[in-house]
Amino acid sequence: MEFNEFFVSGMRLLAAGLAMVGTIGAGLGIGLAGSGAVQGIARNPDAAGTIQVNMILAAAFAEAVAIYSLLVALVLVFAAG
């Protein structure tokens, strides 16, 4: 079976779309971190500063996964092939 240009291009775009599946986990992680932070601040308003700093740090680590997925997808779309 000979692979033509359109098939390879389509598979490259499909792979880029599948690479973005990694952002689902990042979105869920950030949502859960935010939810936990709001509940923690509601229970203990005096610890709001510490909770907020920890939530922002957790969101940054979770967002790193989404950024890596985006970079892989961009490489597949623009640099590969």
Q: Where are the domains of the chain?
A: 22-79
End-to-end CA distance of the chain: 19
CATH architecture of the domain 22-79 equals Up-down Bundle (1.20)
Residue corresponding to tokens 């923690």 = 40
The pTM assigned to this predicted structure is: 0.74
- Residue 3: what are its φ and ψ, rounded to 5°? -90, 125
- pLDDT tens column, 23-72: 998 899 899 999 999 999 999 999 999 999 999 999 999 899 999 999 99
Q: Is the pLDDT of residue 6 over 90?
A: no
Q: Is the pLDDT of residue 1 over 60?
A: no
